[in-house]
């Protein structure tokens, strides 16, 4: 199960790392330390200089992946005014967890069954009950967000090549998965019911935030550049 647990692991070590990168001299460091005392560690993490510094060769080599992915998610969301750090935490946890071999195809880390297509998850839901059904519902949301967020170019290529469903299909399926997962006692017990509801209601902007990460940092040179530009333009006008 994906949980927003990364921010709880950040502390003095991560703060010291960021201060080293964005405050090279003693006076600058004193100013940033004072700001952190007054506004909290998020003041450092949300500073655009922090992400830029982390993404340098020196920064990326010394920064734990948990902080790198949190900052990528946080700043991508802030561009659209999504200011809830728990959402960024969940997206970062999703990126890290699903980045493990084959994990994206399984509802849970200890699950054996793999689902390559969304329709396979839907079919399985018709015969599954209890906690397994909850995990499948959440996975329908997570897997849809993972695919449409990080691999929109692949989805577009499949549409052109063989008439496969487009991104709107993944948005609909993902929002449905999160909505169904939110409406369970398991989600309530895990404290995820409200977060799942938020993801269901805001699936498109969350997908677009992940698209930014994929387009800029993970896969900047893949896919058809015209298709990518058209997608970005369409997303821009759909949001405004």
pLDDT at 145 over 70: yes
Q: Kindly report, residue by residue over 174-225, the tens digit of the pLDDT.
A: 999 999 999 999 999 999 999 999 999 999 999 999 999 999 999 887 777 8
Question: In 10 A of CB 137, how many CB atoms?
Answer: 26
Across the chain, mean pLDDT equals 93
- Lowest-pLDDT choice from 112-116, 121-125, 153-157: 153-157
**In 10 A of CB 16, how many CB atoms?**
12
| Residue 100: partners with Cβ closer than 8 Å, 6 or more residues away | none
- Cα separations (Å) of 23 from 13, 26, 52? 15, 7, 13
240 pLDDT above the threshold of 80:
no
User: Residue 162: its pLDDT value, please?
Assistant: 80
Q: Cβ(166)–Cβ(154) under 8 Å?
A: no
HSE of 230 in the Cβ direction (CA atoms, 13 Å)? 8
The pTM for the full model equals 0.92
Nearest CA among 239, 225, 117 for reference residue 169: 117
- The pLDDT tens digits of the residues spanning 11-52 come to 999 999 999 999 988 899 999 999 999 999 999 999 999 999
């Amino acid at each position: 199960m994906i949980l927003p647990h990364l921010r709880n692991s950040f502390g003095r070590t991560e703060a010291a790392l960021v201060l080293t990168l964005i405050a090279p001299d003693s006076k600058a460091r004193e100013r940033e330390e004072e700001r952190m005392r007054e506004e909290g560690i998020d003041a450092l993490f949300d500073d655009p200089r922090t992400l830029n510094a982390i993404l340098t060769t020196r920064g990326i080599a010394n920064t734990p992946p948990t902080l790198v992915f949190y900052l990528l998610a946080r700043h991508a969301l802030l561009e659209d005014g999504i200011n809830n750090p728990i959402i960024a935490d969940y997206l970062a946890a999703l990126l890290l967890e699903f980045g493990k071999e084959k994990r994206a195809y399984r509802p849970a880390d200890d699950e054996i069954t793999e689902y390559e297509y969304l329709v396979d998850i839907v079919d399985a839901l018709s015969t599954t009950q209890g906690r397994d059904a909850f995990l499948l519902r959440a996975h329908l949301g997570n897997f849809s967000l993972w695919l449409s967020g990080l691999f929109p170019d692949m989805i577009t290529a499949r549409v052109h090549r063989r008439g496969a469903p487009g991104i709107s299909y993944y948005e609909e399926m993902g929002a449905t998965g999160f909505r169904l997962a939110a409406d369970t006692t398991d989600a309530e017990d895990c404290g995820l019911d409200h977060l799942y509801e938020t993801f269901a209601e805001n699936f498109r902007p969350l997908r677009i935030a992940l698209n930014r990460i994929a387009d800029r940092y993970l896969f900047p040179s893949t896919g058809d550049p015209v298709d990518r530009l058209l997608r970005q333009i369409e997303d821009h006008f759909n949001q405004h």
